[in-house]
Amino acid sequence: MSQQQQGRARGRARGRGRGATNEPPPRRPGTQAPNQGPPGMQAGQPMAAQGGIRPPMAAQGGPPMGVQYAVGQPMGGQGDQSMGAQYAVGQPMGGQGGPPMGAQYAVGQPIRAQGGPPMGAQYSVGQPMAAQGGPPMGVQGGPPMGAQGGPPMGAQYAVGPPMGAESGVGQPMAAPVATGRARQRGGATARAPGAPPTSQLEALTLGDRPGSAPGGGGARRRRGGVVVEEPHTRPGSMVNKKGTTGNKINMITNFFKVKPKPQWVLFQYHVEFSPEVDHRKARIAMVYGQEALLGDTKIFDGMILFLPKRLENDQTVVYTKRKTDDADIRITITLTNEVPPTSPICLQIYNILFRKFLKNIGMQEINRNYYNPALKVAVEQHKLEVWPGFVTSILQYESKTLLLADVSHKIMRTDTVLDLMYDLFARDQRNFYEKATKMLVGEIVLTRYNNQTYRIDDISWDEHPADRFRMSDGKDISFMEYYERQYNRKIEDKDQPLLLSRAKKKTKEGEVQILKLIPELCTLTGLTEEARQNFHVMKDIAVHTRITPDRRSVTLQRFINQLNSNAEVQKEMRGWQIEFDQNLLQLEGRTVPKEKLFCRDGQDLDFKRESADWSRELRSRALLSTKPLKEWLLIFPKRISQNASDFLGALHRVGPAMDMQIHNPIMCDIPDERTESYLRAMKQLIKPNVTQMVVCITKGERKDCYDAIKKFCCVEHPVPSQVIRSRTLQKKQMLMSVATKIGMQLNCKMGGELWAVEIPLTSLMVVGIDVYHDSLTKGQSVGGFVASMNRHLTRWYSQCTFHKHSGQELIDGLKHCLVASLRHYQAINKDYPQRIIFYRDGVGDGQLEAVLEHELPQIIDTFKSCGYEPKITFVIVKKRINTRFFARAGPGLQNPPPGTIVDDEVTRPEWYDFFLVSQSVRQGTVTPCHYNVVWDTSGLKPDHMQRLTYKLCHLYYNWPGTIRVPAPCQYAHKLAFLVGQSIHTAPSENLAQTLFFL
């Protein structure tokens, strides 16, 4: 691109020259029409000005534009500062030397010229919190960092840069954890004699039980990002949750023992101030000033003090002076508790300390995990960087307190958001604003000057870094001047637009705070969808991120050695009387026998256990049951008619081996690749209740075309459908293999079965539940519900539910899914199942209690209220875990074989849980799956639950091998994904008894 073109692109990306496109300014989908007044005044108000109306930034007494400023009306008249959570910049709010009203103080000057630092929670930039050293780290604990005169480590400074500075001002806070408590609803009448359960179920209104969740008590609390207590779900009658089947295997895992000194306890004190000191930071400074009494090792959060030693008296009184007004303050320190090492409170302290240890060895926190930018690896050909880091947590396990540490990687872009805007404009000038908004809104960016991450919620095309905002001392300053002064960052493009990010935490008045980011100073984190679909990008990144068991264990060993050899860390550990084991934890697991698979002839599929793949063995075998493919359509663009003919020929050749009758289809060559052409052909050719299948071959990877075909075939004219990309059919040497796999999918979508595994239980229904957030409707989640219909668990019934509460994995329509699945099960088997096992996927760390209080009671109360009480097991399936296992292989380590189970040492004492390695991976380290049985009245032994779970990992018909989760979970995910990504409405009931979503 020439210099002239580059300059033109820069001008357009900056937000200039929009009139030439005749496009309206972009507005983020879902926002309302523009309102009067400053942005952010109401929670529902759009962030950027719409229709070319430029939002006031700091005009005539209005709130300043920066991040942690008031959102709404100014507090007083002309010249008064804003009413929000953050206050004056430059001069104190209170006039002649008095302290300001709010929690934030002046930049550059202390509140009182002769009184040292101010009393409040926030202090002046560049000055330590107290003359004798910086403030404590707060809840983070540890001695002050500012003893040498530098800024305190945990201090929050006065109003920072408009986008949330590393000083702590304006940083997005963690979103509150949803409790997920449901509404209390009415009950139902008793079941009439002889009435089928489904009729009673349909009349039932469901709700949560009052009181504690089924499965036991226990409450979940999150402090400082650390879960210190979780619901107890282990049945009281279960003495031993360990299985016995299989061969023992020696392994090591990515855990280290945490070893406190013998007889060690943590002493908890309550601290009171008289007269009362309002500001938390001031209280912390006063307590940390009592080093002679308390020592160097302590943690104080403003009210509760933790010490590793006991003071001489149970109640101790000391006196100090308040620096702002020289008033005498009495501090009363009262012993309230002696905390043992296994207490949740002690575990919380361990995690707080460990985060400090990570900072001591030079790691930086990004989104709760810690990374080492000094060891970053550049992937220059893709403008990416890979930052190595660690995910850590300290928890109480079966008999030991353990540190979990796993290797993590953060993918960072080296080009800025502004560079991406330039590139996008160069590719598509006409649709630049629309595409830029679509590309960036919702993405996470990192600001390199303070390593903070933010979510982009909108783009303000009418605001620029050259714009000025008024600081509270009355001076105007531009973003460019601010960043150069504060961070020594010179902004080159003064006309670029601003990115807007809505802070996760509102002001005390409940108002939304808006953070404003400079694209030139931001980089996107993670990978774009385009990059994820690029084979070369993923391959080059995998070289650095897919680590073998040997490399992973060496990295973890080096990590713990670095901690144990760091002088600052060792000083802290000696003060708290704890240490970490030097070696990874060794444990013993079990490998269960290989499962027996069979097809129609009843003979076992003889496959290698280590690979867990039977694709070759399946090619020459008749499938378990097949449906003849007689009436079907093959639709393709005219210019790839040869690919369509080659595919049809290959399908005819592979069909007989699988015992599939494949007749010639109605061939339809459409003139072009437009979506309308496919829809027109289907409308003309589909015969209701006659057409069995629609196969469309598409050119390229157009999601809109795929979505339209799927919606037409799943909702408007229900018929199973298959969409094939033309490039899949271009490699002639792979065509037979591709035709075999597609033939199997076509058979499944018509109701056929491929293979089966031995299931010893009778009268059993297995249910899979998963949730996917709808990509079109904000705040709507799609729940996939899939239930088995036969003894061999090879036929399935499916339904979808829709849930409107954003961010919560809850399914309000669970009752209706149960009703329909039981009705169909009874119609097929002439009876209802005696035992039902639910596998619930998609439950994060913070949602276990919500599932226990919302979903599980729906199931239990439904059955009890209508007199139908099957034996129920409810299992939470967790895929996103950091636990890893390594099997010994001579002098080295390797992945454990499929079928490896661990149910001791690293499981939780309050849960009935186990880990299962069910799949084989060719690269990197295999990730086990964690299963937590939160409700169980089945009477099955732990061995039975573990073996059944492993069997279900063999029954996913889209892959001739074992998968990571049980097949019903994967089916539920596929269903919810299809609806949430493409259909956005419930599929037709006519397709419910087929795997149409494969």
What residues act catalytically? 770, 809, 841, 973
User: What is the enclosing helix (H) or strand (E) of 786?
Assistant: strand 781-788
Nearest to 767 by CA among 589, 532, 967, 977: 967
CA 61 to centroid of chain Cα atoms:
41
Half-sphere exposure of 424 (CA within 13 A, CB side): 19
Separation of alpha carbons 992 and 821, rounded Å: 10
User: What are the tokens at 645?
Assistant: 């003919």
Nearest to 454 by CA among 467, 440, 468: 440
Separation of alpha carbons 34 and 420, rounded Å: 28
- CB within 8 Å of 350: residues ≥ 6 apart: 258, 394, 401, 578
**Helix, strand or coil for residue 857?**
helix
The residue with tokens 């035992």 is: 835
End-to-end CA distance of the chain: 44
Query: Rg of the chain over CA atoms, in angstroms?
Result: 31
**Helix, strand or coil for residue 138?**
helix
Separation of alpha carbons 123 and 130, rounded Å: 10
The residue with tokens 């807007």 is: 500
Q: Rounded to the nearest 5°, which phi and psi values hold at 494?
A: -80, -5
What is the four-CA torsion angle of 108, 110, 111, 116, rounded to 10 degrees? 180
Separation of alpha carbons 540 and 389, rounded Å: 19
- Omega within 30 of 0 (cis) for the link into 46: no
Separation of alpha carbons 244 and 240, rounded Å: 11
| Whole-number Cα distances in Å, 148 to 127, 153, 789 | 11, 12, 71
91-106 burial: b if 16+ Cβ within 10 Å, else e: bbbeeeeebbebbbbb
The answer to whether 330 and 317 have CB atoms below 8 angstroms apart is yes
Nearest to 256 by CA among 354, 178, 184: 354
Burial (0-12, 13-18, 19+ Cβ within 10 Å), 236: exposed
Q: Rounded to the nearest 5°, which phi and psi values hold at 229?
A: -155, 140
User: What are the tokens at 339?
Assistant: 């905390």
**Helix, strand or coil for residue 800?**
strand
What is the four-CA torsion angle of 610, 614, 616, 617, rounded to 10 degrees? 110
| Whole-number Cα distances in Å, 130 to 50, 119, 148, 321, 710 | 47, 10, 12, 12, 65
The residue with tokens 């493409």 is: 982
**Helix, strand or coil for residue 222?**
strand
Count, in order, helices (H) and strands (E) of the chain: 21, 40
**Helix, strand or coil for residue 480?**
helix
